[in-house]
Amino acid sequence: MPRPTALRPLLLALPAALLLACSSEPPDTHPDKPVTQRRDAFKAMLRSTEPMSTMLKDRRFDADRFASLADQLAAVRETPWKHFGADTNYPPTKARPAVWEKPDEFERRRSEFISATDRLLAAASARSEAQARSALAAVQDSCKACHNDFRR
């Protein structure tokens, strides 16, 4: 029978082993980490769109803040797309194979998103809450349509 002190290192390591075993997502092992980079780019976009959405939902439209957030979104809107190379369809991606199987459709969705963000910038410049509301909804619809087709 093992001595209690001999079991101590095993007992101390057990929680860490369980956490690793329960991790639902494998690490991004690609040297350039494109999956991580595109995920981070999408999160950067959310850091702009979520406050805009909250501002409109709460009926606390601040034209200057909204314009600043729209500018931030425009500054990062091209970032994720360059990280969808041919060799980037591996775990932990949440992209569907359709990204690579239907590149023209994926490009069409990307273009729709860019156009929607252009309309958002124009609405922000107009300083109109109604225009901002409509333009942000178009951006969100563009994101949702792409997610429906290309994200798990």
Q: Using one digit for the tens of pLDDT, what is the confidence trace for 117-147?
A: 999 999 999 999 999 999 999 999 999 999 9
Residue 18 confidence (pLDDT): 47
Which residues participate in the annotated binding site? 143, 146-147
Topology of domain 33-86+96-150 in CATH is Four Helix Bundle (Hemerythrin (Met), subunit A) (1.20.120)
Is residue 124 classed exposed, middle or buried when 0-12, 13-18 and 19+ CB atoms within 10 A define those classes?
buried
Does residue 43 have a pLDDT over 70?
yes
4 pLDDT band (50/70/90 cuts)? low
Q: Cα–Cα distance between 51 and 132 in angstroms, integer?
A: 13
Residue 25 confidence (pLDDT): 80
Contacts of 86 (CB under 8 A, 6+ apart): 100
Residue ranges per structural domain of the chain: 33-86+96-150
Does residue 149 have a pLDDT over 60?
yes
Which residues participate in the annotated binding site for heme c? 143, 146-147
